[in-house]
Amino acid sequence: MRLLVLDTETTGLDPKQGHRVIEIAAVELSDRRQTGRHLHFYLNPEREIDTAAAEVHGLTWEDLKHRPRFTDVATEFITFAQGAEWVIHNAPFDVAFLDAEFERTGLPVCAGIYASLVDTLSLARESFPGKRNNLDALCERFAISNAHRTLHGALLDAQLLAEVYLAMTRGQETLTIDMGAPIPVWNVAGSAGAVQGRWSLELVQPSVEELAAHREYMEALDRESKGRCVWLRLDGVEEAAA
């Protein structure tokens, strides 16, 4: 299924108090990698922004009052996001704001747009109970560089969350995979029923599809480790030698 990693920035904390969405971004994932396709808007909230919120994202109404309103981009957003699985950190917060915006425009709320919804905050709390599970903490935990995140921003945060989600759903906290020891096969041979232990190995050649999947996995490891995937470099040396 097509995945979209979403994030919003807002004028405050509660849409029931009239707070609005001021920035929205959706980053597309396919085959467990970012495709490069995304949607990103800054929006005119038609109201002032709370000081505390502005300190988080650095945006003011002066910055945004000439931007399009949510109603101006709602149809384009729905076209892009329709039928995808949405991945959001602390999903109830963003969904509540988006639902309020859609209700103002008379369009379907989020549940009528997405195919399914994943809350990465809930996933993180299940995997790391009792630990900090905000986006910065998860980036640190999975060795994802967020040094350029001095302020919150919907597009940057969605891109970082996409990397976090891929690392989190790979089922391991590190890039090392613990493989169990191979199980020995013992052959019975010799006179008087003597048991002679030796390895019985069968050489299995990988298929073209398996080799392609292995290469794709190594490239993903290389991106996540910032170019430190030794296996990919060795593979490149062997290809050059061939």
Predicted confidence pLDDT, tens digits, the chain (242 residues)? 899 999 999 999 999 999 999 999 999 999 999 999 999 999 999 999 999 998 888 898 889 999 999 999 999 999 999 999 999 999 999 999 999 999 999 999 999 999 999 999 999 999 999 999 999 999 999 999 888 776 688 999 999 999 999 999 985 434 444 444 444 444 444 444 444 445 555 677 888 877 887 887 878 777 777 677 776 767 665 555 55
**Domain boundary pick from 169, 201, 217:** 169
The answer to whether residues 164 and 193 belong to one domain is no
Judgement on whether residues 75 and 19 belong to the same structural domain of the protein: yes
**176 domain-assigned:** no
83 and 116: one domain?
yes
The predicted structure's pLDDT at residue 56 = 86
pTM over 0.95: no
- Residue 151 placed within a domain: yes
pLDDT given for residue 122 in this prediction: 97
Tell me: do 157 and 56 sit in the same domain. yes
Q: Residue 201: which domain range?
A: 187-241
Distance separating alpha carbons of residues 87 and 161, to the nearest angstrom: 9
- 160 lies in the same domain as 58: yes
Does residue 148 carry a catalytic annotation?
no
Q: What is the pLDDT of residue 236?
A: 63
**What pLDDT sits at residue 19?**
96
Q: What is the pLDDT of residue 34?
A: 92
Q: What is the pLDDT of residue 194?
A: 45
Give residue 213's pLDDT: 78
The pLDDT assigned to 25 comes to 97
Domain match, 33 and 63 both: yes
pLDDT of residue 235: 66
Catalytic residue, candidates 19, 38, 66, 152: 152
Q: What is the pLDDT of residue 16?
A: 96
Domain count, the chain: 2
